[in-house]
Amino acid sequence: MSDKEVKLTFEEFGEIPFLKISNNDQMRPFFMSVVSDSDHWMFISSNGGLSAGRKNAEYALFPYYTDDKITEFADITGSKTIFQIGNDTDMVIWEPFSIRNTSNLKTVNNLYKSIYGNVIVFEETLVDYDLTFRYSWASSDRYGFVKTATLINNGLQDIQLTVLDGIQNVMPHGVSSGLQTASSHLVDAYKRTELHAESGLGIFALSAIIVDKAEPSEALKANIVWSHGLSKVTNLLSSLQLNAFRKGQNVAAESDIKGEKGAYFICTDLHLKSSASETWFFVADVNKNHSQVADIIHEIQSTTDFKSKIADDIQKGTENLINLVASADGLQYTNDPLQDCRNYSNVLFNIMRGGIFDDGYHVEKVDFEQYVSKANNAVVENNQAFFNSLEAKSHYQVLCNKAIETQDPDLIRLTMEYLPLKFSRRHGDPSRPWNRFSINLRAENTGDKILDYEGNWRDIFQNWEALAYSYPEYIDGMIFKFLNASTFDGYNPYRVTKGGFDWETIEPDDPWSYIGYWGDHQIIYLQKFLEIIQKFKPGGLEAYFDQDYFVYAAVPYIIKPYEDIVNNPKDTIDFDHHWDARIRESMTSVGADGALLKDNDNDIYRVNLIEKLLATLLAKMSNFIPEGGIWLNTQRPEWNDANNALVGNGVSMVTLYYMRRFLVFLDEIFEKTDLENIKLSNELIEFYHSVRETLDTHQGLLSGNISDADRKVILDQLGKAASDYRSQIYKSGFWGKKRTASMEGLKRFVKLSLAFINHSIGQNKRKDGLYHAYNLMTYKQDGVMISYLDEMLEGQVAVLSSGYLDGTQSLHVLDAMKHSKLFSEKTNTVIYCILIKNCQVSW
């Protein structure tokens, strides 16, 4: 066992505060991301292995692999430094941060990360020689990735040494991540690395684009690396001579390397005086054409103080990043700096997923008009007077009010939905390689600003919840986007983008492709938005109760009839290829609105807010199993995808707890409205009446326990009502006629649903004082049986959120958690346990 203590402290380099992990080499390697205010991405292991690039994985500087390979390849990818200390007769080889140091050299390692998340520093001290080597990674919007190396002589004696430093396994431009993963040896054969001798610039390119066609395909772009700070250097463009240098031998310059993994090293002799230091740096960037390469060569040769120039650009990036976080209220100053750092980091990653508004509440006409045109070109053509009246910039609320004056429901909807967000990227990293991220900030050809966002459904709306508190005027638009990307049968597609939404299809050769409706997080995320608008704009929702500004997403899934679901609850959805083709054809001609549900006249089918809320609620209630929860039968789990094994037989109390919160809210706002009647789709009214009648008929069962037989009767009636509703729409679409429903009837339905949910919550209290999170159901001809799973933290979080418990009861749940298997005395935490996932949450 090592006596080196691992600890976390704060340190400063210059004026920038860092978090420092002392003796980080005593820990198992862990994975980090280094962020940027621009389109850089970097995923790096604490042992130095990394992947990095710009925009997405297709513009990689180092190979984009899964995180295990990135960690394992630390010795051959990324930074590499080797020192020859002393002379030929008494030479010591020091290779910082490497497992190759198996000699008796005594070292101390530390790891630093800027509290702003955009700089990482690796540090190793060679104790017997009083030498400290430190290198950092940072990003420059103008120049790319910057590795800064510093060697410090802390001792009383001058030291003579030879340094070989640089980066290795540098990618050429034009290699897709899939090709690199599947055929990296073939890729190596096409690599060519050249040195521009006068500037020292390394050019990493392919000898030809890798295609299996009998045609020429010239590689016209390259990745580049260059260095600054040391003179009289020998350049290497591969790692072929590293072992010779490790043996104390000299190395020969390389200027043109073919068929090998690219690298960029400099080698030179240093005479380091006592208490002196030497600093140099490497700069690397991707996706450069001939003229851009020529420009940087000219700049290298004509600039004398590149160190300050690059440092200034890095500092500018840091300031931009701080401003981005500050615009989302991410800066705080308390007596707990670690908590302040955590808050900053949470907000930073929140806006990286959900985006941040470009210019407060100001909307640029050019981007707004392009957005509407791509969504529905006819809307722009029909509203030329509206668009001509707009100034270059408009306030979002002014813009929405102007749109409402036109009385064009599609223009109103699209205007409300327009959210001028930037900095967003789909969730993706080497630990989840099936999620492909893309950081779209600027147009490649023109450099013009791009306002864009995209993300998995739950990622986007989860992150917008926090963003709404910083920009509450946009909450209407967030609600519009949420509801208009949901389907008539009450679910949502799996990804939301500025340009609309998309859905999963089955790809036979891809085990990660799978269809299934997403319902996880749906109720609680919507509920959070509704609470926010009510908080900042009391009564604001009522303005949309009877306005047909809302639509249904046309996702080409067919939920099977109830009888089929019962027979095989793990296979309940078909993908309709013909419907999918029709939708995509419509999108080609119309725009993104081509993916909206049409009526029998092939016009966009529009409904009001109450219908959208009711459709969402009925989808859950039709899968309600009394005393069990919400049946998980749409081939996607509720709440968390770690529960995949529960699909078909699982029942979610977590969703039921959040449904209670939703229903209480509806009860409150419905009671306040002056509306007496509301127009709803004829088909939805039939569905609603069937569900209400079922609950009303069996209300007497709430006085005690519900039998398995009665539970089956209720589930069958609810499920059949939903099945009939879906079948009608799948077959014939909405008729297009609306019927009147009384608000009093809706109020009674909400209260009736609440009564059933309250009864089920009461029945799910465990003997240990906790509440069940997920249950199992068994469907038989004579009844539906419920069995119970182990305790789970999310069940306690959800029931505490539901409002079902009073203050005293809530304290009892918290106390029960601390005395349960969820609690760890050693770490003073509760365990977040979802069948196959474990992580710890601070108590």
**pLDDT tens digits, one per residue of 577-635:** 999 999 999 999 999 999 999 998 899 999 999 999 999 999 999 999 999 999 999 98
Distance CA(239)–CA(334), nearest Å, equals 48
CA atoms within 13 A on the CB side of 165: 31
Instruction: Return the number of other C-beta atoms located less than 10 Å from residue 659's C-beta.
Output: 27
- The reported pLDDT for the residue numbered 2 is 59
Q: Does the structure show a pLDDT above 90 at 827?
A: no
Q: How many CB atoms lie within 10 A of CB 235?
A: 20
> What is the rounded CA–CA span in Å between residue 473 and residue 814?
36
835 pLDDT above the threshold of 70: no
Given a cut of 90, whether residue 272 has pLDDT beyond it is yes
Q: Both tokens of residue 372?
A: 């509407």
**Cα–Cα distance for residue pair 529/534, rounded to 1 Å:** 9
Residue among 752, 754, 741 nearest 684 (CA)? 741
Minimum mean pLDDT range among 89-103, 391-405, 675-689, 708-722:
89-103
φ and ψ of 5, to 5 deg: -90, 130
pLDDT higher than threshold 60 for residue 843 = no
- pLDDT above 70 for 839: no
Average confidence (pLDDT) over 109-122: 98
Residue 837's pLDDT is what?
Answer: 33
pLDDT surpasses 90 at 638: no
3-state secondary structure of 408: coil
What's the average model confidence in pLDDT over 419-440? 89
Question: What is the biggest distance separating any 2 CA atoms in the chain, rounded to whole angstroms?
Answer: 98
* pLDDT single digits (tens) 471-487: 999 999 999 999 999 99
**C-alpha span between 778 and 786 (Å, rounded):** 7
pLDDT tens-digit profile of 771-818? 999 999 999 999 999 999 999 999 999 999 999 999 999 999 999 999
427 pLDDT exceeds 90? no
Calculate mean pLDDT across residues 409-421: 98
Quick check: 836 pLDDT over 50?
A: no
Q: In sequence order, which residues have a C-beta less than 8 Å from that of residue 595 and are 6 or more positions away?
A: 500, 501, 553, 554, 583, 586, 587
Residue 638 neighbours by CB under 8 Å, 6+ apart: 519, 520, 630, 632, 650, 652, 654, 655
Q: Which residues contact 386 (CB under 8 A, 6 or more apart)?
A: 402, 403, 406, 411
Is residue 142 scored above 70 in pLDDT?
A: yes
173 Rama class: left (phi>0) / alpha (psi -120 to 50) / beta: beta
Q: Which residue in the block uniquely carries the two structure tokens 């820990």? A: 27
Q: What is the mean pLDDT of residues 346-350?
A: 97
Instruction: Give, for 76, the enclosing helix (H) or strand (E).
Output: none
Q: Compute the average pLDDT of residues 746-752.
A: 98
Q: Is the pLDDT of residue 9 over 50?
A: yes
Side chain identity at residue 813, one-letter code = V
Collect all residues with Cβ–Cβ distance below 8 Å to 326 and sequence separation of at least 6.
none
Supply the pLDDT for residue 641: 63
Q: How confident is the model at residue 12 (pLDDT cuts 50, 70, 90)?
A: confident
The pLDDT score that the predictor gives to residue 842 is 29
Bridge partners, residue 93, by sequence: 84
Separation of CA 186 from chain center: 32
Lowest mean pLDDT: which of 99-103, 238-242, 611-615, 827-831? 99-103
Bridge partners, 194 (sequence order): 203, 256
